[in-house]
Structure 1
Amino acid sequence: MKEILIGVLSSVFFAVTFILNRSMELSGGSWLWSASLRYFFMIPFLVLIVWWRGNLKQLLIELVRKPLPWLVWSFVGFGLFYGPITFAAASGPGWLVASTWQFTIIAGVLLTPLFLEVNGTRRKIPLNSLLFSSLIVMGIIILQWENAKGGLTLQLFLIGMLPVMIAAFAYPLGNRKMMELYTGKLDTFQRVLGMTLASMPLWLVLSIIGGVTVGLPSADQVVQSFIVAISSGVIATLLFFFATDLVKDDSTKLAGVEATQSAQVVFVMIGEMVVLSIPMPSVISVFGIVLVVIGMILHSLLGKKKVKIVQSPSISER
């Protein structure tokens, strides 16, 4: 349950991304600055944390020793994650971005065969996890059904859904690849800082394009991007990466932790009601929320049951 609860807590802070990105879009801010400013603001805080823990030198050595894996998987895990997310928030309705992002629950499970077990064998897709994740996605679809009454056009799919679906695969892929490469070598704080630094070329390019095409960001966008950086970029990312670190060797538990991100929809809905004054959810939407909660509970129980099965032989041998 500890890993599940940490994952849910991270989803609370991740929800800030969707709420404030939507707010910035409504106030005319460019997605180019929303994306790049978040990672610019993350660096000082992450550097301070890693330095205070006495691990900064070790990280810098690893970055210099093997720069290519850092550049590639940071571009995938951070660049192809947050760039498309902010682009979609600026191009399509907020409900479409928030609901489509939950596809990452299924994406995380489907990516399992790309990784190896500790003994070197290729991992298999945990079917129970896939079933429970499908239940969560069904809840998300029901939750957002009323918002989609206007219909889904090809243009809306290309600018509002497709970028988020790319992000849904990129985020867990980049995270898992870096865990696989640096298990036992670097901790969560080092990995997040390393990936942030390695993704800087992309954010610098986007900020230059933003400066040329739309000018400098407004003071309001800078402040909101700073809040996103602290809440989502630092706190939420560290919590989520820490939770996945705890279960990195168990595909079933890893899928359960990644499924906790579905709670973002609930927190985004509550946040938009408070910040953006959206109306109260209907009975149908509440039913969707119930399905999401049930799916997360089943994931938690599945991981707990597996722990008992693994532990019991060693107890009997004693």
Structure 2
Amino acid sequence: MNARRHALWAVLIALVSALFFTCTYVLNRAAANDGGHWAWTAALRYLFTLPMLLVAMPMLGGVAPVWRAIRRHPGPWLWWSGIGFVLFYVCLSFAAASGPSWLIAGTFQLTVIAGMLCAPFLYRDARARIPRPALAVGAIIVAGVLLLQFGHGGGRLDRAGWIALICVAVSAFAYPLGNRGLLLHLEKAGIELNATQRVFGMTLASQPLWLAVAVYAGAEAGAPPLGQVWLAAGVALSAGVIATVLFFQATGMVRNDPTALAAAEAMQAAEILFATVIGALWLGEAWPQGRALAGACVVGVGIVLFSIVAARAAAGNERKVKQLRSDRGG
């Protein structure tokens, strides 16, 4: 396979992964529309993801190295999975009732720059520096998100709107913070795990907290309706397993090609488009208009520009590629 075709396949795989990641926003919104409690939406996704990943792990690096790593240092695994998985998804699930799928999908794209902004709090070496070009592009994405939110809110946000915006913003920062924190722990401990093993390990380590969230959900809302159970299983399979594996495969294929890596990363901008189309056709959501539409376009352009900057910096550097992959969530 020549280099151009190889790069094209990587971009197409990344685009398909974006489609499966989009299921998070659409299916969570469907559960909220049906009256499903946000805590059940959050807990069920990761309770289902664990056995699904367990089935796939023999083909993706195996369970034994992960289990040894957790037993050796359980504290960091519990802490970083609590931030990167539990805080991340509890906030995202809570916000699902606040607006259409495209609004949540667009706002969550703040996670593209969140990892960069978290760097000074995690690292004590050259990685703590925030590149000015990336910071400038990040400001474009933030401006697009604000346009999205205020456009949807008719020029203003009420109390519920601000709460939802803050929840999605916290979620967008929690995911890369948790994943980068775990990567730093593994680096200091001299432990090598591939991307899928890290996802499985964090899913496993977060189970005690997910069981606590499930207990809370049961006390607040009783048993989850069957429809919500199926929707959560769909998110677990599509976003938690299929999309994650596809995205890691795509970025791994072109990690030494800056242009192709940027193109693969930029495919996540398609999540806003996918969420808009699926939400409108399946859930009957209104299409973004006016300032909201302009905000979605600005976010998309910002993601493409940021992907170019980040991928060129990461190309050929396995450590940076690991960070780039780990910043991907949903």
Task: Give me the TM-score of the superposition, normalised by structure 2.
Answer: 0.78
The offset of 1:101, in angstroms, is 2.0
The offset of 1:170, in angstroms, is 0.7
Residues of 1 paired with 2:148 and 2:90: CA distance? 25
Does 2:205 align with 1:198?
yes
The offset of 1:276, in angstroms, is 1.0
Task: Give me the TM-score of the superposition, normalised by structure 1.
Answer: 0.81
Moved more, 223-232 or 171-180: 171-180
Q: How many residues align?
A: 306
The offset of 1:105, in angstroms, is 2.6
1:314 corresponding residue in structure 2: none
2:161 corresponding residue in structure 1: 156
Structure 1: segments with no counterpart, 5+ residues? 311-318
Task: Give the root-mean-square deviation of aligned CA atoms.
Answer: 3.6
CA 1:129–1:40 in structure 2 vs 1: closer, same or farther (change >3 Å)?
Answer: same
Does 2:176 align with 1:169?
no
Moved more, 131-140 or 38-47: 131-140
CA 1:285–1:156 in structure 2 vs 1: closer, same or farther (change >3 Å)?
Answer: closer
Does 2:241 align with 1:234?
yes
Whether the 8 Å CA contact 1:29–1:217 is kept in 2: the answer is yes
Structure with greater Cα Rg: 1
CA 1:140–1:6 in structure 2 vs 1: closer, same or farther (change >3 Å)?
Answer: farther
Residues of 2 paired with 1:309 and 1:231: CA distance? 29
Pairing partner for 1:50 from 52, 57, 70: 57
Does 2:144 align with 1:133?
no
- In the TM superposition, 1:20-35 aligns within 5 A as 20-35=27-42
- In the TM superposition, 1:206-225 aligns within 5 A as 206-225=213-232
2:196 corresponding residue in structure 1: 189
Whether the 8 Å CA contact 2:57–2:197 is kept in 1: the answer is yes
Structure 2: segments with no counterpart, 5+ residues? 1-6, 318-330
**CA offsets per residue over residues 161-218 of structure 1, 9 Å max, x none?**
2222211111001111222333561111211111001000111011112222211111
Residues of 1 paired with 2:252 and 2:122: CA distance? 15
Residues of 1 paired with 2:75 and 2:266: CA distance? 30
1:313 corresponding residue in structure 2: none
CA 1:17–1:180 in structure 2 vs 1: closer, same or farther (change >3 Å)?
Answer: same
The offset of 1:80, in angstroms, is 0.7
The offset of 1:132, in angstroms, is 1.9
**CA offsets per residue over residues 78-131 of structure 1, 9 Å max, x none?**
0010011111224x22365334322223322211223448xx544310211122
Give the aligned residue type for 1:114: F
Whether the 8 Å CA contact 2:13–2:250 is kept in 1: the answer is yes
The offset of 1:15, in angstroms, is 1.5
The offset of 1:233, in angstroms, is 1.5
The offset of 1:62, in angstroms, is 1.2
Give the aligned residue type for 1:182: L
Give the aligned residue type for 2:116: V
Whether the 8 Å CA contact 1:103–1:165 is kept in 2: the answer is yes
Whether the 8 Å CA contact 1:4–1:300 is kept in 2: the answer is no
**CA offsets per residue over residues 229-268 of structure 1, 9 Å max, x none?**
111122233445666788999xxx9999877644422221
Whether the 8 Å CA contact 2:46–2:210 is kept in 1: the answer is yes
Residues of 2 paired with 1:258 and 1:104: CA distance? 13
